[in-house]
Amino acid sequence: MSRLDEFAAWLGRERPFATYAELHRWSVTDLDGFWSAVAEFLDVRFTEQPRQVLGRRDMPGAEWFPGATLNYAEHALRGSGSGDSDGLAVMAYSQTREPVELTWAQLRDQVARAAAGLRRLGVGRGDRVVAYAPSIPETLVAFLATASIGAVWASCAPEFGARSVVDRFAQVEPTVLIVVPGYAYGAKHVDRLAEVAELRAHLPTLRHVVAVPYGPGVVPAAVSWAELLAEPAEPAFLPVPFEHPLFVLFSSGTTGRPKAIVHSHGGILLEHLKNHALSWDVGPGDRLLWFSTTAWMVWNALVSALLVEATVVLVDGNPMHPDIGWQWRLAEAAGVTHMGASPGFLMACRAAGVHPARDHDLSALRQICAAGSPLPAEGYRWVAAEFGAGVLLNVGSGGTDVCSAIVQGGPWQPVVEGEISGAALGVAAAAFDADGRPVTGELGELVITEPMPSMPVGFWADPDGSRYRDTYFTMFPGVWRHGDWVRFSNTGSCVVAGRSDATLNRGGVRLGTAEFYRVVEELPEIADSLVVHLEDPAGGNGELLLFVVMEGGTLDDVLRARIAGELRTALSPRHVPDQVLAVPAVPRNRTGKKLELPVKKILQGAAVEDVASRDVLADPTSLDAFVGWAR
């Protein structure tokens, strides 16, 4: 039985549900009933009981569990490894040092010591603690310690340049900065001492820097990690209101100044309990591995596996070193039951002829989660062929804004080739046309029509909430507009066709970018692609430009004709580009998303520094070719 089966059976005492569609309908029409059931079934421990489930229902401004107090870290540390405090809470693999394991007892002890150390440094409720650190146990410990005392957390991966980090951290005015002196990325050592010095110089509110020993190098004039954890302490958790800030996540910064998105203790606790238990089917004794840097919301979701008493498997380094099979070998070594992967990684494994289930003992694996970009139909077929019916492929899409999935699969939903199974429980997702009407079977704006607990409590340094409202609620007042372009089927499954601000509007017909990529990137000559549309101010068709990265050959007119023919046959004549141009690389951010909008702005004459910081690019040189085309 899945945990969703158990939840449904538990609900069935009063309200039986025969299908996922019935259960989902109830979850978005009876918000009080659903979220109170989630809280009770998954044992949310309120210090002070809420007066009700949902006070104000307006968006923005919905009020969840008014009067309640709790603490996220208390729930994250209540696990015991199936009743054994010596069971593993954390397994960590790194290219910088040997593997590290922490039992539940050791994790609780380190968090208590770190919390006491932060208090000695003067950190209290509401203060900000930030980390320029990788996905390692010390970062996780520091996060939980910060949460336990009611302080607010934010993190950036150490591969970010100092300017990008300052753009983010300066907004929250931190008092403590946790850093590493460097790290290994595959066989290469990356020194970060100069970047750490620059952060100190440009974050005037800092009172202390804490240095985690990681690789060679020493951070001068810093509190050592050993000093922070020097004094024994008992675990203690400050009860805070449901909406009290837990952490700040930052948007990618590829379309302007990064937004500082504030998530709450209660909202993240409820959403991640629901997501991990009921959609991902994670529970006590399970092990979740998902390669992520600390700058991506997936890291926060990975850490939340502790909430359902599962083991967190952390990975730091070059995910393709020494070869593409490294993550599968780690999955075998850790005995993972759940593995997260980017669609790009799965497609790369397919292209390389990797056979994970044949070549490794992955018998414990029950679910593969994929998110970050669309997974082509061929990726679904590859996972099915490699792993068989015993492993569920759960493709999802959501984002930093809600720190979870909006649409995804789960144990009760069919896996539809090339599509996402449907809206997540508790998420009233729909597609709206330009007039705000729900549409099915055609592309529209992805919206959420009812509040959910993990919607942000606001943006940092946005006192009147205007930037927050403008981001999500201007287009359709009272309805959350997520910024994705989506098509729902009559059965509830959906296809996310790319960002709506990058959607191609050709002659009044809107085309999703993901549809192009599914066709073009199946051609053996094409390694990657990016498409943009430059509108005609006079109202004509404009110019549709397709950029391709060659697998090794050259782009000639014969291949251009093949590309045009494939797009015309698979999609429509409107999808045939006006020009097909070769570039060395497609610009992506560090989570793998293609940056269509910055490319479009560059082609329209904008300067690179005005549309994207090179520090947020996976390849800092990937925009250069587009600057040349713009000229």
Q: State whether 520 and 621 are in the same domain.
A: yes
Helices (H) and strands (E) in the chain, counts: 21, 30
Token code pair at residue 292? 């992520």
Helix (H) or strand (E) holding 117: helix 104-120
Q: State whether 182 and 302 are in the same domain.
A: yes
Please say whether the dihedral angle defined by the alpha carbons of residues 380, 382, 384 and 386, taken in this order, is positive or negative: negative
Whole-Å CA distances, 183 to 179, 303, 400: 11, 21, 26
Q: What is the pLDDT of residue 84?
A: 58
Q: What is the pLDDT of residue 574?
A: 78
Alpha carbon 291 to chain centroid distance?
11
Q: Is residue 149 part of a domain?
A: yes
Q: Is residue 368 part of a domain?
A: no
Share of residues in the chain with pLDDT > 70 (%): 96
pLDDT above 60 (res 254):
no
DSSP track, 279-329 = IS---TT-EEEE---TTSHHHHHHHGGGGGTPEEEEEES-TTSS-TTHHHH
Q: Is residue 353 part of a domain?
A: no
Q: Is residue 552 part of a domain?
A: yes
Average pLDDT over residues 220-244: 97
pLDDT above 80 (res 309):
yes
Asked which of 488, 503, 525 is the last residue of a domain, the reply is 488
pLDDT digits (tens, 9 = 90+) for 340-369: 999 889 999 999 999 999 999 999 999 999
Reported confidence tier of residue 81, pLDDT bands at 50, 70, 90: very low
Q: State whether 484 and 499 are in the same domain.
A: no
Q: What is the pLDDT of residue 253?
A: 63
Bin 537: left if φ > 0, else alpha if -120 < ψ < 50, else beta.
alpha
Asked which of 432, 459, 488 is the last residue of a domain, the reply is 488
Token code pair at residue 541? 């068709």
Q: State whether 444 and 563 are in the same domain.
A: no
Q: State whether 428 and 543 are in the same domain.
A: no
pLDDT above 60 (res 454):
yes
Q: Which amino acid is at 48?
A: E
pLDDT above 80 (res 611):
no
Q: Is residue 356 part of a domain?
A: no
Query: What is the domain-level CATH number for residue 262?
Result: 3.40.50.12780
Q: State whether 159 and 285 are in the same domain.
A: yes
**CB-facing half-sphere around the CA of 394: CA atoms within 13 A:** 30
Please say whether the dihedral angle defined by the alpha carbons of residues 214, 218, 222 and 224, taken in this order, is positive or negative: positive
Q: State whether 484 and 515 are in the same domain.
A: no
Q: What is the pLDDT of residue 538?
A: 63
Q: What is the pLDDT of residue 91?
A: 98
Spatial distance between the Cα atoms of 552 and 584, rounded to a whole number of angstroms: 11
Reported confidence tier of residue 506, pLDDT bands at 50, 70, 90: low
Q: State whether 419 and 505 are in the same domain.
A: no
pLDDT above 90 (res 401):
yes
Query: What is the domain-level CATH number for residue 531?
Result: 3.30.300.30
pLDDT digits (tens, 9 = 90+) for 475-505: 999 999 999 989 999 999 999 987 777 667 6
- Crossing angle, helix 20-29 and helix 31-41, to 10 degrees? 110
Which domain does 259 fall in, by range? 70-318+396-488
Q: What is the pLDDT of residue 141?
A: 98
Average pLDDT over residues 249-264: 82
Token code pair at residue 22? 């019935």
Which carries the bigger pLDDT value, residue 535 or residue 70?
70
Q: Is residue 236 part of a domain?
A: yes
Q: What is the pLDDT of residue 134?
A: 97
Q: State whether 592 and 461 are in the same domain.
A: no
pLDDT above 50 (res 47):
yes
Q: What is the pLDDT of residue 354?
A: 96
pLDDT above 70 (res 210):
yes
How many independent structural domains does the chain possess? 2
Reported confidence tier of residue 236, pLDDT bands at 50, 70, 90: very high
Q: What is the pLDDT of residue 503?
A: 67
Q: State whether 302 and 419 are in the same domain.
A: yes
pLDDT digits (tens, 9 = 90+) for 524-571: 999 999 999 887 766 667 889 999 999 988 999 999 999 999 988 888
Share of residues in the chain with pLDDT > 90 (%): 79
Q: What is the pLDDT of residue 614?
A: 76
Average pLDDT over residues 84-93: 87
Asked which of 488, 514, 535 is the last residue of a domain, the reply is 488
Q: State whether 155 and 276 are in the same domain.
A: yes
